[in-house]
């Protein structure tokens, strides 16, 4: 009898259910593209006294958006996803999503059953993988130039293969904000590579999300909810 396996299978399906519509990917991609747009916009105002405010304000907005991503996604899910495939709470891998419980980020720790599932599915290895690729990003930032394109491809492969675990995707905008802002202040003349990198990742993540959303909408017509 594989009772435990059956329960973990139910947890796994709930996790797939959460990422099935691609909304998380779309929002992450939009945040990344917004950072790129800001990176191109601000240099045209560098000679103006408002440049610093634009820079800080703009990056601050995207930082807030990244942190509030879960609330936006949940708001849309209530109107698009749940009427089609039903509702169940977000899985533990959706970091920052369970704000309903605490009212604040970060999310509470997963339950013992969820933790057992996470361990079993190798989430710890995925955490290590995310750390490796973030370290690679830091090296690429220091190296500069076309290595960003290589890193963008690595990121794209990671995003596409690591689904539905987008824990790393959630932290990516925050990490890029810190790295990008730091690079901007320390070496404002060298940032094309960074923008290219973020642009490539943003486009790929958004397109992957849009593809998943279109597939989701075509497969799942709206269902009128009923009950006993």
Partner 1 sequence: MSGNGIRDLSSLDRVIHEPARLMIMTILFAVEEADFVYLQRECGLTQGNLSSHLSKLEEAGYLTITKTFKGKYPLTICKLTRQGRQAFETYSVKMRCVTEGNKEVKK
Residues that bind partner 1 (CB under 8 A): 1, 3-4, 6-8, 10-11, 13-14, 17, 78, 82-83, 85-89, 111, 113, 223-228
Q: Which is nearer to partner 1, 17 or 45 (CB)?
A: 17
Q: Which is nearer to partner 1, 23 or 35 (CB)?
A: 23
Minimum CB–partner distance for residue 226 and partner 1 (Å) = 6
The tally of CA atoms less than 13 A away on the side-chain side of residue 158 is 23
Minimum CB–partner distance for residue 73 and partner 1 (Å) = 17
Cα 26 from Cα 21, distance rounded (Å): 10
Minimum CB–partner distance for residue 82 and partner 1 (Å) = 7
Place of tokens 């901007």: 184
The phi, psi pair for 217, rounded to 5°, reads -65, -35
Q: Which is nearer to partner 1, 6 or 161 (CB)?
A: 6
Q: Which is nearer to partner 1, 12 or 45 (CB)?
A: 12
Cis peptide before 164 (omega within 30 of 0): yes
Q: Which is nearer to partner 1, 8 or 165 (CB)?
A: 8
DSSP string across 136-200: HHHHHHHH-TTHHHHHHHHHHHHHHHHTT--HHHHHHHHHHHHHHHHHHHH-TT--HHHHHHHHH
Minimum CB–partner distance for residue 181 and partner 1 (Å) = 38
Minimum CB–partner distance for residue 87 and partner 1 (Å) = 4
């Amino acid at each position: 009898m594989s009772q435990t396996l059956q329960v973990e299978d139910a947890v796994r399906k709930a996790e797939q259910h959460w990422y099935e519509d691609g909304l998380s990917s779309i929002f992450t991609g939009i945040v990344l593209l917004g950072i790129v747009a800001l990176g191109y916009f601000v240099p045209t105002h560098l000679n103006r006294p408002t440049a610093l405010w634009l820079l800080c304000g703009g990056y601050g907005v995207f930082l807030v958006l990244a942190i509030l991503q879960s609330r936006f996604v949940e708001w849309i899910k209530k109107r698009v996803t749940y009427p089609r495939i039903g509702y169940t709470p977000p899985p533990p891998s959706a970091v920052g999503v369970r704000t309903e419980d605490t009212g604040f980020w970060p999310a509470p720790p997963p339950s013992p059953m969820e933790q057992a599932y996470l361990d079993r599915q190798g989430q710890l290895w995925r955490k290590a993988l995310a750390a490796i690729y973030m370290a690679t990003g830091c090296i690429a930032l220091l190296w500069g130039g076309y290595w960003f394109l290589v890193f963008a491809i690595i990121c794209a492969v990671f995003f596409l293969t690591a689904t539905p675990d987008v824990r790393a995707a959630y932290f990516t905008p925050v990490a890029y904000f810190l790295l990008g802002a730091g690079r901007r202040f320390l070496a404002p003349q060298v940032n094309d590579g960074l923008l290219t990198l973020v642009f490539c990742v943003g486009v790929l993540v958004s397109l992957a999300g849009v593809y998943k959303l279109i597939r989701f909408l075509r497969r799942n017509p709206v269902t009128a909810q009923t009950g006993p």
